[in-house]
Amino acid sequence: MNIRKLWEHEAPPFELLLLADPSRELVEEYLAIGECRVAEMAGDIVGVYVLARLDMETMEIMNIAVDEQMQGQGIGRKLIGDAIQTARELGYQSLEIGTGNSSIGQLALYQKCGFRMEGVIKDFFIDNYDEAIFEDGIQCRDMVRLAMEL
Ligand code: ACO
């Protein structure tokens, strides 16, 4: 598997990006401010993430997704490893990520990768999304913020 920057004129893999965030508007905002990197296997894009600068010292993984058929095979972990390496090489001191209170698997993955919980933005998903989101019977209301030192 090869992880690379999206080429300048290549279309972003929206189908994948929308798995991580149902708002196309927000996804387009992330793409406008961040760098899109993709995981490629045998010529197919199987994963994606968007890395953006938050401030002079911090980058954030704004969106990360793996093709549904390919999940659970370590690709997400490799994408996060690539984000850590990229942010480090660019000289940033910390990396952040945010996810919903109901995203249990994602919270597990991010902590396994070294992120620690930093805070909660209450009602983020109520205030920023038109439709209610449920995962595993839990309403997604709050954004859990996680961070790691690089
Ligand atoms: N409980 C405990 N551990 C879990 C759970 C769970 N419910 N779910 C996953 N994990 C662990 C796995 O055990 C594995 O750990 P291991 O390597 O120690 O075995 C790890 O998390 C999963 O690793 P990968 O196989 O690398 O993950 P995957 O390739 O499936 O990618 C991802 C993870 C990106 C979250 C993928 O499932 C996905 O695309 N989901 C839909 C989109 C999404 O929710 N994106 C994130 C939204 S938040 C944001 O974008 C900032």
Give the residue, by CA position, lying nearest to ligand 1 atom 40: 65
In this predicted structure, what is the pLDDT of residue 7? 93
66 CA distance to ligand 1 centroid (A)? 9
Give the residue, by CA position, lying nearest to ligand 1 atom 9: 105
Rg, the chain, Cα only: 15
In this predicted structure, what is the pLDDT of residue 22? 87
Which atom of ligand 1 is closest in space to residue 66's alpha carbon?
A: 39
pLDDT in 10s for each residue of the chain, 150 residues: 999 999 989 999 999 999 999 889 999 999 999 999 999 999 999 999 999 999 999 999 999 999 999 999 999 999 999 999 999 999 999 999 999 999 999 999 999 999 999 999 999 999 998 899 999 999 999 999 999 999
Domain at 2-149: CATH architecture: 3-Layer(aba) Sandwich (3.40)
Distance CA 34, CA 53 (A): 7
Which residue do the tokens 């893999």 mark?
Answer: 13
Tell whether ligand 1 has an atom less than 6 A from the beta carbon of residue 22: no
- Could you give phi then psi for residue 30, rounded to 5 degrees? -60, -45
CA distances 49 to 21, 42, 139, 141, Å, are 12, 19, 24, 23
| DSSP per residue, 128-148 | H-SS--EETTEE---EEEEEE
